[in-house]
A and B are shown apart, each in its own frame.
Chain A
Amino acid sequence: GQSLEQPSEVTAVEGAIVQINCTYQTSGFYGLSWYQQHDGGAPTFLSYNGLDGLEETGRFSSFLSRSDSYGYLLLQELQMKDSASYFCAVTRGSTLGRLYFGRGTQLTVWP
């Protein structure tokens, strides 16, 4: 089985930096992904970590520590349009084709 824990809500102001944590318990862990979903919209892929360390994509970065079963998504220079839900999702080695999603973190960015 597997479980993922992430905070339900995070708030920040424009221009700030916010970190959304994700801890997981899963057998056969293979990798960690992050998706963004605006209200009523479709989730979109942000990043993937298969190895320990930091992956950077513009204002967004994602980190993984396999030994700690922990990852985070770092959003810098926050903008109002970053207000959305953010989901972490794990891939397991036994079922490479599917993702197991966390419950999501609602990020609200204030002006």
Chain B
Amino acid sequence: EAGVAQSPRYKIIEKRQSVAFWCNPISGHATLYWYQQILGQGPKLLIQFQNNGVVDDSQLPKDRFSAERLKGVDSTLKIQPAKLEDSAVYLCASSRVVGNEQFFGPGTRLTVL
């Protein structure tokens, strides 16, 4: 079974620019998560989808971050405009249902200059 796919793997932008990340979860997984992992820290949940609905976005900085899950499958996370402190690895994960083991993608390393 194919794992969680993410693209791009690396992205370098200047502050105030926009950027978007893409995630394709494991087939059949209803729950999709986006995490932000700042260097030296553990991942922090940004947003959680159940099918194509948002169930938890309490830690998403909504003034600049947005996310959607198209038709309950692929998801896109956008940052607009980016700040220096957004430099981090953005991890996407999926699980068959809420609460089950989460499978992670390889992540996107974002550098904001």
State yes or no: do A and B come from one complex: no
